[in-house]
C-alpha cells in the first residue's frame, strides 16, 4: 500500500461536476478490486476510475458476455450459469484472468470489476498480481432489485441508464449512436439468484480481505459523484 501511496500524486483535475485526484500510473504491478453485489455500480465507478488510477478496467462479466456473443468454448460453458444467475466455475474464470493479465495494458496492474467472487478465485489472484486495495461498494438488497430491473445501456458507447433514476434523453444518447441494450440476466427472477450467489459465495471474501488490512467499504446508496469521491479517498489510504 505504501508503494501505491507513493505513486499517487495530489494533482487535481476537473471532471464535469466533481474534482478528482489524479494518481500517476504506478510503475510496478499492483491491482485494485472493486467489490460488491450485482448492480452496486462497480462498472460505473470502474470506468470513472480509469483516468485516476491509470489502470484498465477488467470486468469478468463483460469478458464472459463477449465470449457468449462470440460463441467461444468459454462462452458456451458460461452461458447456462449466467442465464441462471449462478457463478461460472472458478477454473473458467481463473483461466480468463490469467490470460487477460498477460496483455500489455495490464503490465502495471488492473482494476478488477466483478472478480474475485469466491475464496478460491481470490487465492488464485494472489498468485497472479498483488492487490493493494479492495473497495466494497455497499448497497442494500432491496435497492439492488430496483436498480437492476430498470437498467439498460447504449450499445453504441456503453453509457448506463435507468428507467426511473436516469432515463436516456429524448433525443438519445449523447454519443450519437443510440441503441438500447438490456442484459439478458437483468430481470427479477435472475436477480434473486445473483443476490443469493453473492451472499453465499462472494460476501465471505469481505472478511478474508478485511483480515489482510486492504478492505475499504463505501456507501453505494448515494449519488454517483459522492461515491467516486469516497473511492478516490479510500485509494489514498
Q: Does 220 bind ligand AMP (CB under 6 A)?
A: no
| Look-up of cell digits 478465485 | 121
CB of 82 within 8 A of CB of 64?
yes
CB of 186 within 8 A of CB of 149?
yes
Window contacting ligand AMP (CB under 6 A); options: 45-53, 111-119, 132-140, 150-158: 111-119
Instruction: Give the containing element (helix H, strand E) for 215.
Output: strand 215-219
Instruction: Count the Cβ atoms, other than its own, within 10 Å of residue 141.
Output: 14
Cα-Cα-Cα-Cα torsion 22, 144, 118, 88, nearest 10 degrees, comes to: -110
236 is catalytic: no
With CB under 6 A as the contact rule, the residue among 35, 115, 152, 215 that binds ligand AMP is 115
Return the bridge partners of 181, or none: 153
Given 98, 183, 212, 236, which residue is catalytic? 183
| Look-up of cell digits 510503475 | 27
100 is catalytic: no
Window contacting ligand AMP (CB under 6 A); options: 69-77, 102-110, 116-124, 216-224: 116-124
With CB under 6 A as the contact rule, the residue among 37, 38, 41, 220 that binds ligand AMP is 38
Residue 191 DSSP SS3: helix
| CA pair distance 137, 6, nearest whole angstrom | 25
Q: Does 35 bind ligand AMP (CB under 6 A)?
A: no
Window contacting ligand AMP (CB under 6 A); options: 58-66, 164-172, 206-214, 216-224: 58-66
Q: Does 114 bind ligand AMP (CB under 6 A)?
A: yes
| CA pair distance 32, 75, nearest whole angstrom | 26
Q: Does 117 bind ligand AMP (CB under 6 A)?
A: yes
Q: Does 93 bind ligand AMP (CB under 6 A)?
A: yes
- Contact residues toward ligand AMP (CB under 6 A) are 38, 60-61, 64, 81-82, 85-88, 93, 114-117, 121, 185, 194
Catalytic residues: 42, 117, 151, 183, 194
Amino acid at each position: 500500500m505504501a508503494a501505491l501511496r507513493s505513486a499517487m500524486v495530489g494533482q487535481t483535475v476537473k471532471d464535469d461536476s466533481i474534482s478528482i485526484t489524479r494518481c500517476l500510473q504506478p510503475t510496478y504491478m499492483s491491482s485494485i478490486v472493486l467489490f460488491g453485489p450485482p448492480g452496486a455500480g462497480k462498472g460505473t465507478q470502474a470506468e470513472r476510475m480509469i483516468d485516476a488510477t491509470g489502470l484498465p478496467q477488467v470486468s469478468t462479466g463483460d469478458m464472459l458476455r463477449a465470449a457468449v456473443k462470440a460463441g467461444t468454448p468459454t462462452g458456451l460453458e458460461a452461458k447456462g450459469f449466467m442465464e441462471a444467475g449462478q457463478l461460472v466455475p472458478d477454473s473458467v474464470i481463473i483461466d480468463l484472468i490469467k490470460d487477460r493479465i498477460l496483455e500489455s495494458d495490464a503490465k502495471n496492474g488492473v482494476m478488477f470489476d466483478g472478480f474475485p467472487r469466491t475464496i478460491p478465485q481470490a487465492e488464485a489472484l494472489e498468485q497472479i498480481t498483488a492487490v493493494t486495495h479492495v473497495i466494497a461498494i455497499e448497497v442494500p438488497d432491496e435497492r439492488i432489485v430496483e436498480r437492476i430491473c430498470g437498467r439498460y445501456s447504449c450499445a453504441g458507447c456503453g453509457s448506463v441508464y435507468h428507467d426511473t433514476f436516469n432515463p436516456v434523453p429524448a433525443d438519445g444518447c449523447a454519443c450519437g449512436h443510440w441503441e438500447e441494450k438490456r442484459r439478458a440476466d437483468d430481470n427479477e427472477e435472475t436477480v434473486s439468484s445473483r443476490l443469493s450467489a453473492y451472499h453465499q459465495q462472494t460476501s465471505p471474501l469481505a472478511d478474508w480481505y478485511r483480515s489482510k488490512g486492504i478492505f475499504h467499504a463505501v456507501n453505494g446508496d448515494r449519488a454517483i459523484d459522492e461515491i467516486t469521491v469516497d473511492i478516490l479517498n479510500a485509494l489514498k489510504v
